[in-house]
Structure 1
Amino acid sequence: MPMSLNFDDFEQPALQPVTPRPAPAAATPATPAAPLRGVTGNVTHPSMAAVRVQDKRIVNGQGDINQLAPFKYPWAWEFFLNANKNHWTPLEISMAQDVHDYQHKLSPAERHVFENVLAYLTTSDILAMRNIGLAVMEKMSAPELQIYQARQVYEEALHTWTYQHCIESLGIDQQEIYNRYRVVPEINAKIALANRRLERVMRSDFDLADRDNLHEFALSYMFFGGIFEGCWFYNGFTPIFALQRRGLMKGTAEQLQYIMRDEVLHCAFGIRVVRELLKEENLTLDPRAVQQLWEEAEAAESGYAGYILREPILGYSADLHRAQFRFIANRRARQIGLAEPFPGAENVLPWLDEQANLRKEKNFFETRVTEYQTGGALSWD
């Protein structure tokens, strides 16, 4: 049963007899200290100006970063509240059937797809955690933005634990699978592109008062919110959902459905911040730089699809994966307020949005209740 602790649970030391101490010698009177400035009773302190909501900004703000309210960005606080309604751990989902499927039901091609999707995701969520924690969060100058991002850092760590739990449960060689992003060029290409977008903006001396730096920061944040999480993660889970539709690896797929609830918010928050930042700073993203970013992301995703799906599996192929990336990329671009990078791309996997939503009931006596109304109603649109 779970351990329950309170302050009375800790072992208390045995009481010892107290030896009376001799009275202290009379002290020499001290010289009175000079009073501080500002008034609190008879003691003075330096005064500070009150925080004004209008002084808050997404970056380069002049408000007090330690004073949460009043909010200038109440929507950011709503993101934080909604994120806390989707609380779960990977231990709540049974992996027993997945062990059987992995060992006895998956074909070599399906096992290749499954393992390499996990290999990519294990590295990607750590990279996402570093991006938010080291490159973005400390540059935010409104605390309501930082608080949601603190939750996001936790969630990325939780996702990494989830992939590790799946790998351990299935008995996959950890040394081998965690190194695939280093030795498989098609996986490494996606990680390398993300690292390039992260490298400069992660520096603490990256001055956002400089307009060129501010443009690079906005472009980088757009990449991580709109492409890395909004397209690559969304597309990255799809091969596992294709297996789930055929009754295979359902435990892993359910884990990914919980992760997708989090990613819905991550993507939506990133896009909202980018839109607000561009408006607040009167900034326009260079269309050529944006198009180059989409094309680089599409090329990396195409190579990745060709590797993980070098042999198509029932109901899923590399061509479907590439086409769906282009369709989702157009959706993200519209949400940001940008031109579609791949005009005419079609929704080749109409089942994906519904498959990605976790809509099911659990028996209260068989498993902990982890279904939350707000999380279940989230949409990528």
Structure 2
Amino acid sequence: MTTRPQNLLDPGFELTLRPMRYPDFYERYRDAIKNTWTVEEVDLHSDVADLAKLTPEEQHLIGRLVAFFATGDSIVANNLVLTLYKHINSPEARLYLSRQLFEEAVHVQFYLTLLDTYLPDPDDRAAAFAAVENIPSIREKAEFCFKWINEVEKIDRLDTKTDRRRFLLNLICFAACIEGLFFYGAFAYVYWFRSRGLLHGLATGTNWVFRDETMHMSFAFDVVDTVRKEEPDLFDDQLQQQVTDMLHEAVEA
């Protein structure tokens, strides 16, 4: 007979949804289902004409923006599979993570469609997809992401407090720095164009991506708060300093 875990980060793979230990996670899953959208609902036809109205500098900005997102959501999805799903030991939470993985796939499809629409030249599209390797500003963001994935990717079980703190740093990094700071900062550019009556298709899709990302962050911070209640000793001065340093590094990137 398998003993049920006592805490959210206890090693194992609990499958029992009744009695439900974390009903709030289950409600987050249900709320996410209500927000289902598809890329085919986004009308990009007017965006092509709008792009021709932009200055070369503004076109450059849009190209970099879409190039960043083309790989950014894939990195987030990889971390979901390689890290979060493996260590958050709650079937309710894993339901939400499964839903989030679907949403990341929709986001990747959205930015792929944007690239195909905005950059009809195959060489331009190839360069955009290679941005994570060739454009220093995007490469720096990607390296920041991979640094925190690598910190926990090879940990099979969170048996020690050290490993649990490393996991928490990964979770906080992806919620606060990547889906928060990096993505929200990029959304601001989109809404600047929308305020000028431009790129309505991009703004429509971004609204839905923004809604999804907001829920992703809220879920992640709920996990952090749950762990804080269950294992308050994990949140020591060292962890606080590491989070502070991480945020400074993210801002620099």
Task: Bin the TM-score by the shorter chain.
Answer: over 0.9
What TM-score, normalized to structure 2?
0.93
Q: Secondary structure at the match of 2:186?
A: helix
User: Is residue 56–residue 142 contact of structure 1 (8 Å, CA) maintained in 2?
Assistant: no
Choose between structure 1 and 2: higher helix proportion.
2
Match of 2:243 among 290, 299, 304: 290
Given residue 71 of structure 2, which amino acid in structure 1 is its aligned partner?
T
Q: How does 1:1-381 map to 2 (within 5 A)?
A: 48=1, 55-60=5-10, 65-102=14-51, 104-172=52-120, 173-205=124-156, 207-282=157-232, 283-285=234-236, 286=238, 287-300=240-253
1:192-245 C-alpha deviation (Å, 9 max, x unpaired)? 00100001312253x311111111111111111122112221111111110011
Bigger CA radius of gyration: 1
1:278 to partner: Cα distance: 2.4
Matches of 1:181 and 1:108 in 2, distance apart? 22
Amino acid at match of 1:174: R
Q: Deviations over 1:55-86 (max 9, x none)?
A: 45211156x61211221111100110000011
1:98–1:248: 8 Å Cα contact kept in structure 2? Answer: yes
Give the CA deviation at 1:158.
0.7
| Contact 1:57/1:142, CA 8 A, preserved across alignment | no
Residue 197 of structure 2: SS of its match in structure 1? coil
Deviations 1:20-63 (A, max 9, x none): xxxxxxxxxxxxxxxxxxxxxxxxxxxx47x76xx45211156x
| Mapped partners of 1:109, 1:130: distance in 2 | 32
What SS does the corresponding residue of 1:238 show, helix, strand or coil? Answer: helix
Partner of 1:359: none
Answer whether contact 2:71 2:129 (CA < 8 A) is retained: yes
TM-score normalised to structure 1 length: 0.62
> 2:135 is aligned with what amino acid?
V
Tell me the CA shift for residue 276 of structure 1.
Answer: 1.1
Question: Deviation of residue 127 (structure 1)?
Answer: 0.3
Letter of the 1:76 counterpart: F
Structure 1 runs not aligned, ≥5 long:
1-47, 301-381
- Provide, for residues 101-120 of structure 1, a one-character-per-residue CA deviation record: whole Å limited to 9, x for no partner: 11x21111110111101111
Unaligned runs of 5+ in 2: none
Residue 75 of structure 1 aligns with an amino acid whose one-letter code is D
Residue 136 of structure 1 aligns to a residue whose secondary structure is: helix
> 1:129, 1:156 within 8 Å by CA — same for their partners in 2?
yes
Deviations 1:158-214 (A, max 9, x none): 100000111112234320111112111111111100100001312253x31111111
Amino acid at match of 1:186: S
CA distance in 2, matches of 1:100, 1:122: 22
Give the whole-Å Cα distance in 1 for the aligned partners of 2:229 and 2:132: 37
Kindly provide the amino acid, as one letter, of the partner of residue 139 in structure 2. N
Q: 1 CA distance for matches of 2:90 and 2:81?
A: 15
Identity of aligned residues (%): 29
3-state SS of 1:84 partner: helix
Secondary structure of the residue aligned to 2:34 is coil
How far the C-alpha of 1:254 sits from its partner, in A, is 0.7
* In 2, Cα distance between equivalents of 1:163 and 1:145: 27
Shift of 1:262: 0.5
For the aligned residue pairs, the C-alpha RMSD in angstroms reads: 1.6
Mapped to 2, the partners of 1:219 and 1:253 lie a distance apart of: 32
Checking the alignment, whether the CA contact within 8 Å between 1:95 and 1:251 is kept in structure 2 is yes
